[in-house]
Structure 1
């Protein structure tokens, strides 16, 4: 599996254009937010204080969660190319285990997504501080990195399963655009979850990416909320967090950290198994 992983990484990083656009897609959202959306979103939330630090941290938490999927998707181009060029027949004819084949593709995406998402996180922090915010503490930085790693595992497993159904590069390109467009809404990066209909909120509350975004936001908005809303009633702060998707509920049950992690890790395991099943079906054909 290590040999196949090295092959996949070399193929991916050999295409400098693909690497650039994979990272550029995530950073572009930060640029667009800085130029066009920042003031609008800050002004859309009624607060008696300057909400820039709070809203910037909130948005960046969602964008980091979204980046794990969009950057990981780019790495699966190698897998789809192998499918389109029928290279997989050579793999299946060899003594390589199917778990090693899918594992190599998955590890490739995990490596790429982790690197790209960490760059996105660093860029987000620079943006927050440049606009009057504070740096995260060392403890918070490591907490964010831990959540990023778990989210990468989940996102890459889900995207891997999706890519097992793609047989052409054209289908892969279309799917990449679809995922890139949808993921921002699924994590509540553009519209606060509390502004959506209850039926939509119920659907989002069971998606692993929404739980990832909630965890990241809990870490990244902790200090700004403590500073900006220090004199606000606890009832207001609780409602504020629910409106922005910083805290989630499944039905009437509030989600704690253990529930968030269970959704993220559970989805990673589930979709890895489903991907193995798909690969096994292809091998039999």
Structure 2
């Protein structure tokens, strides 16, 4: 199975154009923020000291969530490619089995998502460190790494559910374009959630990636928020609600509550991604018996 995971990694990273396109959604979010959004959003928070750093941290949290979604989808394209070229059938003729083959696809895509999030974090942190003096602590890096791993696994599982219904690479290309374009809005990574219409806010709250973005932002922003608002909790909570630092469900969710939602979503998505493959493998064994 390790050989299959390594195969998926090599096929992904050897396709340089595919790697770049899988990061397109995250890069668009990053560039749009720098060119258009930062000044307009910051204009609404001129009275808040250090708002520039807070918004940089906000952007990093959302962009990491986007990166996990788009790169894991790109990593899972090998499932469709193998299915379309009949390579999957050849692999199933070996002693690997349907379950191990499926797990290898998911593990490979998760590793891709983790690595690409780390790369995007280094790019964004490097820029904001030079431009705005942004710094992060070792504890923040450790917590962000854990969230990156959660994001990679969750995004892989959700994308795998969708890919089960995709039969051809041409269809997958269209899907990737839609996901890459829409991911920034669905996780609240481009526009502060509090400025959107009620329907759009509810749609974002139904997207698991928005909770990943919230966790990232809480890790990055909590200390800065406490210093900035200096005990003015009502103002701080308004800021957190408006920018999606914490998701509002009849009250702002705590970090633990947000993490619980992510873990439940991960378990459900993983079951939905793997169980159909287990059933398919069992049916195939019965036919061959």
The answer (yes or no) to whether the contact 1:98–1:276 under 8 Å persists in 2 is: no
Residue 116 of structure 1 corresponds to 116
* 19-28 or 2-11, which deviates more: 19-28
The answer (yes or no) to whether the contact 2:229–2:235 under 8 Å persists in 1 is: no
Corresponding residue SS for 1:131: helix
The answer (yes or no) to whether the contact 2:25–2:181 under 8 Å persists in 1 is: no
The answer (yes or no) to whether the contact 1:58–1:217 under 8 Å persists in 2 is: yes
Corresponding residue SS for 1:249: coil
Counting only pairs closer than 5 Å after superposition, residues 1-285 of structure 1 correspond to structure 2 as 1-23=1-23, 25-45=25-45, 47-230=47-230, 233-250=232-249, 252-280=250-278, 282-283=280-281, 284=283
Q: State the distance in 2 between where 1:259 and 1:59 align.
A: 22
Per-residue Cα deviation, 1:205-228 (whole angstroms, up to 9, x for no partner): 343211111111111122432343
Deviation at 1:10, TM superposition (A): 2.4
Corresponding residue SS for 2:132: coil
Deviation at 1:90, TM superposition (A): 2.0
Q: State the distance in 2 between where 1:47 and 1:61 align.
A: 23
Q: State the distance in 2 between where 1:128 and 1:14 align.
A: 29
- Could you tell me the TM-score, scaled by structure 2's length? 0.89
Deviation at 1:75, TM superposition (A): 0.9
Alpha carbons of structure 1 residues 50 and 253: separation in structure 2 relative to 1, 3 Å: closer
Q: Which runs of 5+ in 2 are unaligned?
A: 285-289
The answer (yes or no) to whether the contact 2:161–2:273 under 8 Å persists in 1 is: yes
* 204-213 or 57-66, which deviates more: 204-213
The answer (yes or no) to whether the contact 2:215–2:255 under 8 Å persists in 1 is: yes
Deviation at 1:97, TM superposition (A): 2.8
